[in-house]
Each structure stands twice: as C-alpha cells, then as structure tokens.
Copies of this chain bind each other. A is one copy, B any other.
C-alpha cells in the first residue's frame, strides 16, 4: 500500500537517460510513494518551463515536486524521500556513524567518481584518456573496498537491502557501460572489482531499479546522440 507523508501530490521531473533521475525513482519505489513521473521531453536540446521554474539555479533533472515545494539535486531528493516518508524501509542507516559513512561514499561518487567519468568521456587524446582511466580505476578500487567493508555479508552496500550508497553508486553504472563500450576497457571486472561486479548485477535486477534502468544499448544510443558520434 502506498505511504504518503502528506496529502500533497508528488511529481518527479526526470529523464529516462539520467543516472541522477534514476536515484529519485528508486527511492520513491522503495518507499512505495505514489507519484506522477514527468519526462523532460528533450533533455539534450531544450529545457521545459516546468524545469526552469522548479530548478532555476541548476536547471537540471531530477526535481521532486511535493505540493508547492521543489526539491533539487538527486542525493538531496533521496534523503528527502527517506525523511518525508519515514516508515520502513529506511534508505539511510539509523546509526549516526553509519549515516556519516554512507554520506561520505555518496559524496565520493558525485565528486571524484563522476569527475573521472566526465574526464574519460571528454578526453581529447590518448594521454587524457589514460589519465582519466587511471583515475576511474582508483575510484572503483576504493568503492570495491568500501563495498567489502560495508555490506556485512549482505547483497548490497546497505546490507540486505538497497540503501543510500547503493542508490548513489547505481548512477555510475550507465555512464560506465558507455565508457566501456567506447573504450574497449573493462572497468568493472571479476579480476579487479569482483564485489562490485556481483553488486551491479543484483542492483540492476532489483525490483526497485529494473523498471527504470535503461539497457546498455539504450545508454550507448543516447551517448551517440549526445556526443554526436
């Protein structure tokens, strides 16, 4: 049964190809929140009035519109969903130290990891590609170690259930598959990141993720349009 924090309507403005919008959808699904999903029609070429009005600072999806309040930034949305619909399952852990650790790794994903992904995607020459690949490998090695330390024998970073770090990390899977396809380099492999390989498979197959996660082929097709290749 749907849980709602209030009677206000809930809308999520997203884009099917956005790894950040995916986070909002997964969080809302985990909490069984009923919401209207609004696809930002032409995310590559123009921005809708609704997007410009609801996220005037960054002008980016996702935006969660709850009643008359707009919540922007995907990790902020996930934390908001966890707090506005506080019944189980919790997305963030309850212990302050575990919460701080979860926030650290989520911040790491949006910082160093996505910087490396952006550098790899935008590299203009071999030297740039090699440097970006090296940085990305280091990030994934750090995440592999964090995964081994944090999952306590469970299937996810959050243990038995998908949690905040899973939702944060899930955003790298699409971009990573595109970079792997274009570069021919396997960044997630059983040799270097055995835990993450298994985690990624479970994450993609999870019922709160599967309906919203594009296929690798769809990600690649979108990247070809975006980068005009």
Partner-contacting stretch, out of A11-19, A97-105, A129-137, A198-206: A97-105
Chain B nearest Cβ from A91, distance in angstroms: 13
Contacts of A108 in B (CB 8 A): 57
Q: Are B97 and A79 in contact (CB under 8 A)?
A: no
Question: With the chains together, A100 CA to B72 CA distance in Å?
Answer: 8
Q: A41 contacts the other chain (Cβ, under 8 Å)?
A: no
Question: With the chains together, A84 CA to B96 CA distance in Å?
Answer: 6
Q: A142 contacts the other chain (Cβ, under 8 Å)?
A: yes
Q: A83 contacts the other chain (Cβ, under 8 Å)?
A: yes
Q: A73 contacts the other chain (Cβ, under 8 Å)?
A: yes
Q: A80 contacts the other chain (Cβ, under 8 Å)?
A: yes
Q: Known contacts being A69-B97, A84-B96, A96-B5, is A79 close to B103, with CB within 8 Å?
A: yes
Q: Known contacts being A66-B97, A71-B100, A96-B80, is A57 close to B107, with CB within 8 Å?
A: no
0 or 1 for each of A130-166: is its CB under 8 Å from B? (1 = yes): 0000000000001000000000000000000000000
Q: Are A76 and B100 in contact (CB under 8 A)?
A: yes
* Total count of chain A residues near the partner, CB < 8 A: 24
Q: Are A76 and B107 in contact (CB under 8 A)?
A: yes
Question: With the chains together, A71 CA to B146 CA distance in Å?
Answer: 14
Q: Which of A64-91 contact B (CB under 8 A)?
A: 66, 69, 71-73, 76-77, 79-80, 83-84
Q: Name A146's closest neighbour in chain B (CB-CB).
A: B57
Q: Are B66 and A104 in contact (CB under 8 A)?
A: no
0 or 1 for each of A25-66: is its CB under 8 Å from B? (1 = yes): 000000000000000000000000000000001000000001
Interface residues of A, Cβ cutoff 8 Å to B:
5, 57, 66, 69, 71-73, 76-77, 79-80, 83-84, 96-97, 99-101, 103-104, 107-108, 112, 142
